Amino acid sequence: MNKPIILLTLILLALNTQAQASEINIAPDFTVTDIEGNQHHLYEYLDEGKVVILDFSATWCEPCWIYAESQVLDEVQELYGEEGTNEIVVLFIENDGDTNADDLNGLTPESKGDWASTVHYPIVDGPDGVTVGEAFGVTTYPSVYTIYPNRVQIVSGTKSVEGHYAFANSENYLSPGGANNAGVLEMASNPFSCGPAEPVFVLQNLGSEELSTLNIEVLANGSVVQNFTWNEN
């Protein structure tokens, strides 16, 4: 069952400090077909509790080819993908609409090599790859994104195998589950400034039921200074 992922921004102790805007990015959903004919649905993977790594590349991109030859993401897929611990999904997104199968197979002067034989995780090419790249606003290659089960996306970059696994299990990770499950996704203002403060934080509904009420306690030096009840839908 798909779980409702709902973001709520709550403002407490509204005094004089201007709160910062939230910079949380929720990944757009997509369903794509790889060059082997297999379908991949992003939100379905996330609802299974898996972390998804997207490798946006182009066949003519030298840094992309160097990273592909390093086999880092192949090893991530091997260790933590379906044939390993089954907690991470890695997808290669070829993001140039002018490339074709010959480019993927390294048969054109522009291509940096035989991508189809070098990359052993699923490869998405053609219109699907372009559409996904546009949805994520990709402008440079390689661009590597990590997407968590709560659908938050972060540009994670070209890390080592250990780096990718650590990032996949970092503090950004919040897992949907249960019926009533409210998670604190972000503090959007500095709660440690001197003088009046305006704490702003973003909650996310990680449960399978609608979130209609919650109780919040504001503490200063361990003592409750304000109780706040939120009632919405």
Please report, as a single letter, which amino acid is at residue 164.
Answer: H
Per-residue pLDDT band for 171 (boundaries 50, 70, 90) equals low
84 neighbors 76 (Cβ within 8 angstroms): no
Q: Kindly tell me if the per-residue pLDDT of 187 is higher than 60.
A: yes
Mind giving me the DSSP string for 21-71? PP---BPPP-EEE-TTS-EEEHHHHHHTT-EEEEEEE-TT-HHHHHHHHTT
Check residue 210 and give its pLDDT: 87
pLDDT digits (tens, 9 = 90+) for 130-167: 999 999 999 999 999 999 998 999 999 999 999 999 99
Check residue 86 and give its pLDDT: 96
59 neighbors 96 (Cβ within 8 angstroms): yes
If one counts every other C-beta atom within 10 angstroms of the C-beta of residue 41, the result is: 12
Per-residue pLDDT band for 228 (boundaries 50, 70, 90) equals confident
Residues 91, 17: Cα–Cα separation, whole Å: 43
Three-class DSSP category at 200: strand
If one counts every other C-beta atom within 10 angstroms of the C-beta of residue 36, the result is: 8
Residues 24, 201: Cα–Cα separation, whole Å: 11
Q: Kindly tell me if the per-residue pLDDT of 11 is higher than 90.
A: no
Q: Kindly tell me if the per-residue pLDDT of 115 is higher than 90.
A: yes
pLDDT digits (tens, 9 = 90+) for 22-53: 467 889 999 999 999 999 999 999 989 899 99
Residue with tokens 């589950």: 177
Per-residue pLDDT band for 112 (boundaries 50, 70, 90) equals very high
Q: Among positive and negative, which fits the CA dihedral 111, 116, 120, 126?
A: positive
Residues 73, 146: Cα–Cα separation, whole Å: 12
Residue 161, both tokens = 């195998």
If one counts every other C-beta atom within 10 angstroms of the C-beta of residue 95, the result is: 28
Per-residue pLDDT band for 1 (boundaries 50, 70, 90) equals very low
For residue 99, which of 129, 68, 74 has the smallest C-alpha distance? 129
Q: Kindly tell me if the per-residue pLDDT of 186 is higher than 50.
A: yes
Check residue 230 and give its pLDDT: 84
For residue 216, which of 208, 225, 207 has the smallest C-alpha distance? 225
Q: Kindly tell me if the per-residue pLDDT of 113 is higher than 80.
A: yes
Residue with tokens 């990718």: 164
